[in-house]
A and B are shown apart, each in its own frame.
Chain A
Amino acid sequence: MSAFLRKILLISLVGCYVPASQAELTLEITKGIESAIPIAVVPFGWTGSKDRAPEDLAPIIQADLSRSGLLKTLPVGEMLTMPSKANHVRFRNWQALGQEYLVIGEISEVVDKQYQVQFQLFNVYRGEQFLGYRLTVSEKELRRTAHHISDLIYEKLTNKKGVFGTRLAYITTTSKANKKLYKLIIADADGFEPRVIASSLEPIMSPTWSPDGKQIAYVSFENKRSAIFVQTLANGKRERVASYKGINGAPSFSPDGTRLALTLSKDGSTDIYILNLNNRSLTKITKSYGIDTEPSWSPDGKTIVYTSDRGGKPQLYTVPSNGGKAKRLTFEGDYNARGQFSLDGKNIAMVHANRGDYRIAVMDMATRTVNVLTAGRYDEAPSFSPNGEMVLYASRKGNKNVLSAVSIDGRMQQNLSFDNGDVREPAWSP
């Protein structure tokens, strides 16, 4: 096939691009916390050649902070004044509204498409500034700047790492003329700025991030057989790293990014292998007659947690990443699968089923207690947020597949639904 034809094909398969500042996922908070901290984020002031700023950052910050569940934002309609400069702030007004914190800010045009953004965070009762930053950014970076500001505020007020500036990878399917189109999409953590990075008429599944966030590994059936690809996000180049006879599935990067754990069935039984991405050497680390799949690395790189049905039903096991003796990890429930370590290694999230209800559970590795976090019937594919506070997963709402997130204490829950079809297999970026 000529290079020209290839190019056309590739454009058609990858070229779907949704314009910026458009959300594909709709977010809805289904369960919040009573004790959330009240904070007012005032619409930012604007100085520039146009009537208004190309993007108002305040609504983005508001949405981020309330989505966290730990902060409760004041609706703009309830604000008595909308100051954008510190010397216009009357703290008493904000005290009267029951607010503990106040965020004000300004956007000013420096030159065409270049902006200076400044914001301040105040403690309303003490009447003092907690944070103040000034940044110069391009028009394209405005949304990202808003997420960055959200992270700074969140970190200051909760002492927890903010994840508003992170991204999500997920798979969507849309049907057209009796054909299903599978897409691998990357979007901001709030569902905005979705970009299709691969798309095919055959299934795409199991997206997973490299630890530096620069690459995605996934399974594609585009040649009517499964194969694992590693794609670099910056330039879109990809490499097929596994296409053996049988299953090529469940890729998972080692914490140092040099190896990929994966599932192959080339020798007859379905086992976990470690692929060295530098020299392409392959090491088999599980040997059972049953199914061994869904490997995930511990943060120190020494242990792999995986699903095995060697005991009859699927349960989680661990094995040293250089091979060795497998140990059973889960004993509660008749189905435990797709284990994933949190980045601090303290917890493992999993799909946990009892009598046919598939839910998301988290095991505390210190005490080995299992906490069931969700109440759905078809919950699957758990993925930890990089700060370990939330678990994102796929669930069913009505007759649609949607994404949901739950805090690891189970107190907060939210839904992310995809308007145009099904969405599943979320993977939260590092």
Chain B
Amino acid sequence: MRLNKEVFAIALSIMILSGCSSTDEKDSGLLDDVSAVDNEKDTSTSGYSDGSLLSGEEFGSNVTIDARGLGPEFSDPTNPLSKGVIYFMYDSSQVRQDFIPVIAAHSKYLQSHPSQHIILEGHADERGSREYNIALGEQRAKSIFRMMKMQGVNSNQLEIVSYGEEKPEAEGMDEASWQQNRRVEVDYQGR
């Protein structure tokens, strides 16, 4: 697994390199020091590589699902577990009624799979200030967090990350797109 990550990292880095118009020797030395990033004590991942690259879509979705240890119920469209995105009411952190069963299904799954761990990714629409939207996204993720906890999920299985408006699902500047962007994504991390 360790080795695979590294191979993937190299492949990806070559991909990124080829996307540049040109490279410059002097400039490549700019960020030579990753060790400064590594020796912080409060995260286990080191530097640029591991975390962000593991989610790469290049491996195809099947591989990703396998890696997260999820069963076939997650790809069955009639099962609420297949819904990994929760939407909200207009301009609020109140969950849309039709997503209550989805949250309940994920809560139930997490209770019966105590080794599973999820990240609740909070998102906001593009209007207004970016850092304020980070906080709004976190509030949405927190409201799902509280609901799942109330439904009996161990809070050790839940983590919150807010991306604010940085990762919109719809790019349009209209209410329909904004509503799609005010969401929480349930991201299974594996056992």
Q: How far is the CB of A215 from chain B (nearest CB, A)?
A: 13
16 pairs, CB–CB < 8 Å, chain A vs chain B: A9-B9, A9-B34, A9-B49, A10-B48, A11-B13, A12-B13, A12-B14, A13-B31, A16-B20, A17-B20, A178-B57, A205-B131, A224-B161, A235-B33, A265-B138, A307-B132
Q: Let me know if B128 is at the binding interface, CB within 8 A.
A: yes
The distance in angstroms between the C-alpha atoms of A396 and B173, with both chains bound, is 10
Query: What are the residues of chain B within 8 A of A366 when measuring CB–CB?
Result: none
A214 interfacial by beta-carbon distance below 8 Å = no
Is B48 a contact of A338 with CB atoms below 8 Å? Answer: no
Consensus secondary structure, chain B interface: mixed
Q: Which of A57-65, A114-122, A144-152, A244-252 contacts B (4 or more CB under 8 A)?
A: A244-252
Nearest-CB distance from B44 to chain A (Å)? 9
Given contacts A10-B31, A176-B19, contact A291 B136 (CB under 8 A): yes
Separation of A243 and B76 alpha carbons in the complex (Å) = 37
Q: Enumerate A166-186 residues with CB–CB distance to B below 8 Å.
A: 176, 178-181
Bound-state CA distance A222–B43 (Å) is: 12
Q: Is the CB of A206 within 8 A of B31?
A: no
Contact present for A17 and B27 (CB under 8 Å): yes
B117-134: which residues lie under 8 A (CB-CB) from chain A? 119, 126-132, 134
Q: Determine whether B40 belongs to the interface, using a CB cutoff of 8 Å to chain A.
A: yes
- B70 CB-CB contact with A under 8 Å: no
- A6 to B47 alpha-carbon distance, docked (Å): 9
Residues on B lying within 8 angstroms of A by beta carbon are 6, 9-10, 12-14, 16-17, 19-24, 27-34, 36-37, 40, 42-43, 45-53, 55-57, 119, 126-132, 134-136, 138-139, 160-164, 166-167, 171, 173
Contacting pair A240 B132 (CB below 8 A): no
Q: Is the CB of B131 within 8 A of A338?
A: yes
Q: In the complex, identify which listed stretch (A25-33, A36-44, A95-103, A351-359) lies at the interface while the others stay far away.
A: A351-359
> In the complex, what residues of A have CB within 8 A of residue B164's CB?
205
Q: How many residues of A contact B (CB 8 A)?
A: 75
| Contact A237 B32, beta carbon cutoff 8 Å | yes
A14–B31 CA distance with the chains assembled, in angstroms:
7
Residues of chain B within 8 A of A11, CB atoms compared: 13, 17, 23, 28
- Taken together as a complex, chains A and B put the C-alpha atoms of A238 and B35 apart, in Å, by 9
Contact assessment for B161 and A236 in the assembled complex, using a CB-CB cutoff below 8 Å: no
CA gap between A135 and B23 in the complex, in Å:
31
Given known contacts A200-B48, A226-B161, A353-B128, is B30 in contact with A181 (CB within 8 Å)? no
**Chain A residue, CB-CB nearest to B187:** A224
**A202-B52, A236-B32, A237-B31 known; A380+B128 contact, CB < 8 A:** yes
In the bound complex, CA of A247 to CA of B17 (Å): 31
Q: How far is the CA of A103 from the CA of B60 in the complex (A)?
A: 62
A6-B47, A15-B17, A224-B55 known; A247 vs B28 contact (CB < 8 Å):
no
Instruction: With both chains docked as a complex, state the minimum distance between the C-beta of A277 and any C-beta of chain B, in angstroms.
Output: 14
B14 to chain A, nearest CB (A): 7
- B132 engages A338 (CB within 8 Å): yes
CB <8 Å contact, A9 and B20 = no
- The distance in angstroms between the C-alpha atoms of A170 and B55, with both chains bound, is 26
Indicate the member of B37, B43, B50 with the most A CB atoms within 10 Å.
B37
In order of increasing CB-CB distance, the 5 nearest A-B pairs are A236-B30, A12-B13, A203-B166, A223-B51, A17-B24
Complex Cα–Cα for A28 and B163 (A): 32
A223 and B135 in contact, given A8-B13, A14-B28, A202-B52 (Cβ under 8 angstroms): no
A375 within 8 A of B: no
* A374 contacts partner chain B, Cβ-Cβ < 8 Å: no
- Let me know if A106 is at the binding interface, CB within 8 A: no
Given contacts A9-B9, A200-B48, A243-B43, contact A195 B16 (CB under 8 A): no
Separation of A429 and B128 alpha carbons in the complex (Å) = 23
A181–B160 Cα gap in the complex (Å)?
23
- Contact present for A249 and B131 (CB under 8 Å): yes
Which A-chain residue is minimally distant from B17 (CB atoms)? A12
Q: How far is the CA of A358 from the CA of B17 in the complex (A)?
A: 38
